[in-house]
A and B are shown apart, each in its own frame.
Chain A
Amino acid sequence: MFARSSAAVFLPQWYIYFNYRTLMLTIRLKSVKNIQKITKSMKMVAAAKYSRAERSLKPARVYGTGALALYEKADIKAPEDKNKHLIIGVSSDRGLCGAIHSSVAKTIKGEIAKLTGAGKEVMVVNIGDKLRGLLYRTHGKHILINCKEVGRKPPTFADASIIATELLNSGYEFDQGSIIYNRFRSVISYKTDEKPLFSMETVANSENMGIYDDIDADVLRNYQEFALVNVIYFGLKESTTSEQSARMTAMDSASKNASEMIDKLTLTFNRTRQAVITKELIEIISGAAAL
């Protein structure tokens, strides 16, 4: 009778009649339970990182809004005939966070298509390995700089300075550009947003610059360099906060799905177990009746 059972790899708490079908179900049940434990713990970790990121986002927002305030107040617009564009895409190295990386990549691909259609030259700076993976196959020749090791620790102003210095030293004289990042709205929502960047010539030649006092080329150059770092820092901070909140919600729904699966599998397992016992009983009884 027991010769039919497959080799038992483990013994559960209750003694059941081993059968191939129940064995497969127990293996599946155990693996889904492990996955649920993992996703639950990932959610806790993401929640802790999210609260820390959100706390450091509030003072960091001022850097970005302050740097961009000049562009908005002076209403600086790039002239239409300028040809060299730059796109900075902000994401991170780690996955399992919902649509964070894919939404940024989609926006970048749309922008590249639009600009190359209009005959302009575009180059992309990838912050984060995931973005590089999404872009290098189809738009590999547009990539200028790749940045790795983003997302493991919270981003700092020093990170943004390194990226900005690398960009300025790369020799790509862009006329205007934009930074594409995920703006943090609330715990459950973020939005992929775009903020403009301008080159020194664009700002210097803009018509409203005459309003400001004591602006000469050197002051403007300092301001442009520092504003670049500030905008990159702002994009990094907002992106990490959105990413942690998205990872929290993604892991939460994964744990919920896993527990639903566990309930369904447990029901099936109990039914199968009872069916196996009933079959054995019937065989015993009919065997006994045949004597």
Chain B
Amino acid sequence: MVAYWRQAGLSYIRFSAICAGAVRAALKPQIRAEALKAAESNVRITRVKAIAAASFFFW
């Protein structure tokens, strides 16, 4: 039986991230600051096909 969020187009990763955000928002303020710091992300992703196409153009 397909879950409602799956039908709405979310993946489990996105669903659990939203749930975790809700839990963080429910924390007491002192603990919430630490939890928010532990939850920020700073990774940049690049897909390679675009770069390969661009470098092919420059060559």
Contacts and interface: CB of A to CB of B under 8 A. Distances in A.
A226 B42 contact: no
Contact of A145 (B1, B13, B48): B48
Interface stretch (A19-27, A40-48, A151-159, A186-194): A151-159
Interface in B12-52: 12-14, 16-17, 38-48, 51-52
Nearest to B16: A226
Contacts of A157: 38-39
B39 A147 contact: no
Contact of B47 (A144, A155, A216, A218): A144
A86 interface: no
B44 A144 contact: no
A185 interface: no
B45 A156 contact: no
Contacts of A116: none
B40 A149 contact: no
Give chain A's interface residue range (CB within 8 Å of chain B): 20 to 34
Give chain B's interface residue range (CB within 8 Å of chain A): 20 to 34
Interface of B: prevailing SS: mixed
A225 B11 CA distance: 8
Interface of B: 1-3, 6, 11-14, 16-17, 38-48, 51-52
Contacts of B11: 165, 168, 225
B41 A145 contact: no
Interface of A: 127, 140-141, 143-150, 152-153, 155-159, 161-166, 168, 170, 216, 218, 221-222, 225-226, 229
Contact of A149 (B38, B44, B51): B44
Contacts of A150: 43
26 contacts: A140-B48, A140-B52, A144-B47, A144-B48, A145-B45, A145-B46, A145-B47, A146-B45, A147-B44, A147-B45, A148-B44, A148-B45, A148-B46, A149-B42, A149-B43, A150-B43, A158-B17, A158-B39, A158-B40, A161-B41, A162-B41, A165-B11, A166-B45, A166-B47, A216-B1, A225-B11
A229 B41 contact: no
A162 B39 contact: no
Contacts of A166: 45, 47
